[in-house]
Amino acid sequence: MPERAVVVTRPRAQADSLARAIASLGRRAVVLPLLDIAPLDDTSALQAALARLPSYALVAFVSPNAVDAAFAHLAAWPAGVPVGVVGEGSRLALARHGVTPANTTIHCPPDPANSDSEHLLASLDLSALRGKRVLIVRGESGRELMAETLRAAGALVELVAAYRRSVPRLDSALAEALAGLLAQPNDWIITSSEALRGLDELVRQLDPVTGPGRLREQHLIVPHTRIAETARALGCSRITLTGSGDARLLAAIQSQE
């Protein structure tokens, strides 16, 4: 039987560094992206919004992909424009582009175990945003909670898409990899509810009879409560909730040894 693997399901751009860190712990890492991230065919709306950055009282990025997609069109972050992010991955993405607490106000949930839109909103002074313009940078679709809550508080919210994400097609290579990984228990790092739902659908396409049961036998390592809830709704019960950040994911992996 092959050595128990740690399956990294992040989009490819964020997967390789985590896989290397896992390998440094002496574990076998397998990169199996469950979301494909692609640039938009038409970036005119994104570029127009970015050209207006100094007019916003807050710019919120929903993911590291949103940060990277925006900075593909930015030379530098304008001074005095606060940023909101929901997790450690987005904070690190900002830092790679030179945006840190030393030069920009960055709002984020104070507890890494609760890195989501709800806790970002709870950390903001919503009353101070009444009548102010707020930009949310995200994929082509996403949760509406942040926009709805900010609008209810009186903010003037704009949404702009920065990238496209999709579940990969179950081609022969993915089918072979997935079948091999489901044949025995492994540790799966799942960092997106959308990716987990996509995995469930891929497994059902692969084997509608026994596939769902084999997925439920896997151990899922997740950083957010919302993903854990999605996992339980899909019938999974072997779940470790870590909180945001690679350090916590790696600590959870070490605890499985």
Q: At which of 112, 139, 165 does a domain end?
A: 165
The predicted structure's pLDDT at residue 19:
94
pLDDT per residue of the chain (257 residues) written in tens, 0 to 9: 568 899 999 988 889 889 999 999 999 999 999 999 999 999 999 999 999 999 999 999 998 899 999 999 999 999 999 999 988 889 989 999 999 999 999 999 887 666 678 888 888 999 999 999 999 999 987 778 899 999 999 999 999 999 998 999 999 999 999 999 999 999 999 998 999 999 999 999 999 999 899 999 999 999 888 899 999 999 999 999 988 778 889 999 988 75
SS3 call for 44: helix
User: Residues 44, 159: one domain?
Assistant: yes
d(CA 178, CA 160) in angstroms, rounded, equals: 34
- What pLDDT is stored for residue 177 in this prediction? 96
- Residue type for 139, please? G
User: Residue 80 phi/psi, 5° resolution?
Assistant: 85, 5
State residue 257's pLDDT score. 58
pLDDT value for 113 = 65
Instruction: Name the maximum alpha-carbon separation found in the chain.
Output: 61
Using a 10 angstrom Cβ sphere, with 0-12 exposed, 13-18 middle and 19 or more buried, the burial of residue 170 is middle
Mark whether 179 and 233 lie in a shared domain: yes
Check residue 14 and give its pLDDT. Answer: 82
Domains of the chain: total: 2
Enclosing domain of residue 10: 5-35+168-254
Sequence-ordered list of residues with C-beta below 8 angstroms from that of 22, at least 6 positions apart, any chain: 6, 8, 29, 250, 253
Boundary (domain end) residue, out of 138, 165, 192: 165
Same domain, 88 and 111: yes
Q: 220, exposed or middle or buried, with CB in 10 Å at 0-12, 13-18, 19+?
A: buried
Query: What residue type is 250 in one-letter code?
Result: L
CA atoms of 232 and 101, how far apart (whole Å): 36
CA distances from 127 to 122, 160, 211 (A): 12, 23, 49
Rounded Cα–Cα distance for residues 42 and 162 (Å): 10
Q: Are residues 47 and 138 in the same domain?
A: yes
164: left (phi over 0), alpha (psi -120 to 50) or beta: beta
pLDDT at 162: 95
- CATH (domain of 79): 3.40.50.10090
Reported pTM: 0.80
The residue out of 165, 184, 202 marking a domain boundary is 165
| Domain identity same for 52 and 120 | yes
